[in-house]
Structure 1
Amino acid sequence: MPPATIPSKAETPRLSRPAQVAEAIKDWIVQEHFGAGDRLPSEPELIERFGMAKGTIREAMRILEAQGLVKSRTGPGGGTFVHEVSKERARALLGNYFYFQDLTIKDIYQLRRVLEPELAASLAGQLSKDVLGRLEAIIGEYSEPARTLDEEREQHVASLRFHALLAEQSGNALLGFLIDFMVNMLADLTVYRRLYSPPNLELWEKGKAFQLELIDALRIGDADTARLVMRDHMETAQKLMEGQEAEMQRRFISE
């Protein structure tokens, strides 16, 4: 079989040669329909197939392993294997990129307002008693207003876990991942930027009320109401969280 084609520098000016080879190997894995757990060819075979030096192939494999796409094992039965990237790993890698983008509450809610109402509508009448019970149990974690800042922080994180659990139920893997990623990123921003301070009673009260109303609509299968409730929930949360963000910025300036 002729060596695989590696893009020229003119085609991919921002990629180093090992990175280009890593992309070529990844494309080849897809084209050959390798699945998670399948063993990749040996290093000499990869050198021959891709027409690259040993050092380049090794560096390319290190890149793929860092991305979580392959995994090496030593000892009997060892080698390099295709590895399925976990949701947690994908979320962490993507989060590393957005860490440097200086996201705002408005940026996140611009997407949440579009995606989460449709998720809610799609789940109406589809959730099991177990999932509905788990959603109610999460709300139970903030059934009363927080008494301390630590409790306030934990309640914010728990309220977002409610939305992450809904995302897990989506029949659309991409939609579920995007919403899960956004709510986890929002949870991180809330903690890192101390957006839970000062405590906001209105945010707690309205957020809990919307979620309880949403559960009722999901339970009886009312998609239109579920969509409307989630839309109002997102719009209200954005307004109140932007107020928390503005307060954080005022504190930063004054300090």
Structure 2
Amino acid sequence: MYKRSNHYSSSVVKEGKRGSGTVYMFEKAKQNRMFQDVVDQIQDAILEGRMGQGDKLPPERELKETFQVSRGTLREALRVLEQKGLIEIRLGVGGGAFVREVATGPVTEGLGLLLRRHRVSASDLAEFRKDLEGGIAALAARKAREEDIALLREFLRDMAQALEDPFDWEAVISADNRVHLALGEMAGNAVYRTIQATIHANIHPYFDRYVPRDKETLEGNYKDLCLVVEAVAAGDASLADQAMQAHLARYDGYIESADAADMQSQGRETSIGFTDIKGEDHAADKPGPGHPPGRSPGRPVAKPRQFTSDPGRTPHPEPDGSPSEPSGR
């Protein structure tokens, strides 16, 4: 049964059947922004908890009367709410508009796509992770229990084992990730945990690109995480934050080294290309058979350079694939 609300002068309130009788309420849409106002009212009712998962919105006819909007405006508003993941439209007998669980899926999927398509630069990602995971480590230091510390130390043992002969780069990186994700669980913050998990699920290509594959480098990572875990075990939030930020600052160095190596390699390839062209042109200027001694045939009669691809571009030598180049993140 619907009744007037004392909260809004022209609201409609429906008694809910969930829990302790949660209510939700709507009012006539504002004339200058009717469509958006319908969206906002229903969205606010869901996000503020006045409507919960599984609740059914009133029938279309009653919503039209309540909001005083056309059927087209109402349906467009419901379509937008469905796209936002706030409601689902069910057809057939017993159908209608139902409130969905507010999920993080759309956010994490978007972030995951950005990472997988390399739309986030390595430096931006490293900068973001320092703030995010530093905060996570600080929260973990405040909340971690004895069994949590034991789990972190177990992951550190796995990491140390992977650093022994035979050295296993993949296993070291995997154990490193487990330490980070375990800290995210211990922090107890759903927003931090969700974003962190999404990053770690999609970060491996960055590791491949920038993290060197030598044992000495990853021993430094291991020592960093030992300091983080000890700070968490001591309950020192400030020290845990600092230790984690110092650990992630290593990636700044990895990125700078890899980028510098790329620039140097590109410069060397360009230099080789120009040297090759210059040498060939110089040879073309030398006297050949049929020319008087001391006389150069000159450029007009020099044989033109034959390009195998675009003649407007300097060809580059094939990469040598040397394993001494860091594959990096």
State the TM-score, normalized to the length of structure 1: 0.69
Q: Which digits, 9 at most, give the CA deviation of each residue in 1:19-59, with x for residues without a partner? A: 77544531354467223333222222333334444344334
Aligned to 1:227: 241
How far did residue 204 of structure 1 move?
Answer: 2.4
Aligned to 1:195: 209
Note the 1:138-157 alignment, pairs <5 A: 138-142=155-159, 143-145=161-163, 152=169, 155-156=172-173
Note the 1:41-56 alignment, pairs <5 A: 41-56=58-73
**Which of 214, 223, 226 is the matching residue for 1:209?**
223
**Which of 34, 37, 43 is the matching residue for 2:54?**
37
Contact 2:53/2:100, CA 8 A, preserved across alignment: yes
- Please state which structure has a larger fraction of its residues in helix: 1
Aligned to 1:60: 77
CA distance in 2, matches of 1:140, 1:51: 66
The aligned amino acid for 1:233 is H
CA distance in 1, matches of 2:65, 2:114: 34
The aligned amino acid for 1:107 is D
Does residue 92 (structure 1) correspond to residue 106 (structure 2)? The answer is no
**Which of 127, 145, 169 is the matching residue for 1:110?**
127
Percent identical among aligned pairs is 28
CA distance in 2, matches of 1:57, 1:99: 37
How far did residue 233 of structure 1 move?
Answer: 0.6
Look at both structures and tell me which one has the larger radius of gyration over its CA atoms.
2
The structure showing larger relative contact order (alpha-carbon pairs under 8 Å, at least 6 residues apart) is 1
CA distance in 2, matches of 1:24, 1:99: 36
Aligned to 1:240: 254
Aligned to 2:146: 129
Task: Go from structure 1 to structure 2 and tell me whether the alpha carbon gap of 1:183 and 1:200 turns closer, same or farther (over 3 Å shift).
Answer: farther
Aligned to 2:28: 3
Task: Go from structure 1 to structure 2 and tell me whether the alpha carbon gap of 1:193 and 1:169 turns closer, same or farther (over 3 Å shift).
Answer: closer
**Which of 97, 100, 104 is the matching residue for 1:83?**
100
Task: Go from structure 1 to structure 2 and tell me whether the alpha carbon gap of 1:171 and 1:189 turns closer, same or farther (over 3 Å shift).
Answer: closer
CA distance in 2, matches of 1:86, 1:232: 33
CA distance in 2, matches of 1:181, 1:243: 27
How far did residue 5 of structure 1 move?
Answer: 2.8
Deviation beyond 6 Å, 4+ runs, structure 1:
97-101, 245-251
Does residue 69 (structure 1) correspond to residue 86 (structure 2)? The answer is yes
CA distance in 1, matches of 2:164, 2:53: 45
The aligned amino acid for 1:144 is A
1:206 counterpart SS class:
helix
Q: Which digits, 9 at most, give the CA deviation of each residue in 1:74-118, with x for residues without a partner? A: 677654332232344432244456778832121122233234334
The aligned amino acid for 2:133 is E
2:143 counterpart SS class:
coil
CA root-mean-square deviation: 4.1
Does residue 160 (structure 1) correspond to residue 174 (structure 2)? The answer is no
Contact 1:122/1:223, CA 8 A, preserved across alignment: yes
Give the total of aligned pairs: 241
CA distance in 1, matches of 2:170, 2:29: 52
Contact 2:143/2:187, CA 8 A, preserved across alignment: no
CA distance in 2, matches of 1:204, 1:211: 11
CA distance in 2, matches of 1:131, 1:113: 22
Worse-matched range after superposition: 225-234 or 136-145: 136-145
Contact 1:6/1:21, CA 8 A, preserved across alignment: no
The aligned amino acid for 2:126 is Y
Contact 1:125/1:220, CA 8 A, preserved across alignment: no
Contact 1:6/1:24, CA 8 A, preserved across alignment: no
